[in-house]
Chains A and B, each alone.
Chain A
Amino acid sequence: MSETTFMGVPRSRIDWSPRIDYAKCNDCMECVKFCPHQVYEVREGTTPKLIVKSPENCVVFCRACAKTCGVDALSFPDKSQTTVRIKEIRKELEGP
């Protein structure tokens, strides 16, 4: 099962997942092999072959799959902005 909240915020409201630069990706699939959360999906016979299928499975602030990418094709949102946004959502959820 995937995380459904992060610090009390519904995971679906947090924009955190890998972005694939298809100009760099060489379909080595090291990221797929590494990620234990089934964020990616491999679609044999299609272009692109690799997609981010389940972005909400991605662990917020984890960028470990990018460390396996030999061609530097994976990037993530800005951490500071994401932190600010999480705090804002927490405030909204707390109510006035």
Chain B
Amino acid sequence: MNSTKPYAMLPCNGLDKAAGCVAREVAIELAERTGGEILCPVFYRVADARYNRLAQEQPLLVIDGCATRCASKLAAEKGLKPARKLTVTEEAKKIGIELGGSLRLDESGRRLAENLAAVLLQPESAPGASSNGTVPTAFPEHFEYDVYQKDKFIFRLPKSGFYFNENDFWVLVNGSVARVGMTDYLQQSLSDIVGLNLPAVGAKVEQFGELGTIEASKAVLDVISPVTGTVRAVNQALSASPELINQNPYEQGWIAEIELIDFEKDRELLLDCAGYWPILKRKVDEFQAK
């Protein structure tokens, strides 16, 4: 965040788990230190006018306790776009703090809450810092598509040049660099995409390994990488506008660029456009049948 305004904070305050109690504590700590307002998720469920206004006027910080991500789901239900978010259990793993089972904050819980509050008081890294400083690789901005239509739904598939894994992620190769994203089928089956955890530039990823996560109103999914390599850039525009994926997942909605190691090896477990077409049709038909 690069704002002088304090956050409006929507924490998990789930009282049945230690992580929820830590999330609540982080919000209280930040409220005391910045004057930011806390949105109580319980009250928000039954009366939302005041909180909707607050969330519009101030940058929204969502603090989830655990992977169930109740606070994120509530934000999505209310149509809010978080400026920043974190999940207590994930951060605890990164920092190396093991949370106990006690619902009263113990020493480790207090230490974690203080740590997370300190992190959140720092501005996030600048949005422009999306690549590792290497020369950008030029990819075409527009493509031609084949279309599979089922009832009112239209699914685009590039005519050529793309490869796909059966998990519905694509890769477009340009020399030793590849751009990665999700297919039109996947974005439509997920419905509204409300956020992403983009991978870190410089991170190494294996084929079928995790390349960040996508948060939709329905679910949180791993980005399953179609290739092995090193992340050289991520699409930072998605941080502010994840809906770009819904608009066109092959163009402005790309997710990351990977420095490839051995694409020929990766290609053994990938499909070209003609190979993915029958899989797309089968998945659409099965999805519609449900």
Contacts and interface: CB of A to CB of B under 8 A. Distances in A.
Contacts, number: 63
A66 B219 contact: no
A83 B206 contact: yes
B209 A79 contact: yes
Tell me whether chain B's interface is mostly helix, strand or loop, or mixed: loop
Contacts of A72: 66-67, 89
Interface string B72-94: 00000000000000000100000
A25 B167 CA distance: 27
Nearest to B167: A61
Contacts of B103: none
Interface residues of A, number: 28
B166 interface: yes
Nearest to B289: A1
A63 B222 contact: yes
Interface string A43-72: 000000000000000011111101111111
Contact of B67 (A6, A36, A70, A80): A70
Residue among A28, A34, A64, A82 with max Cβ neighbours from chain B (10 Å) = A64
Interface of A: 1, 3, 6-7, 28, 30, 34, 36, 59-64, 66-72, 79-80, 82-83, 86-87, 90
Interface of B: 17, 19, 65-68, 89, 165-167, 206-209, 213, 219-222, 224, 268-269, 286, 290
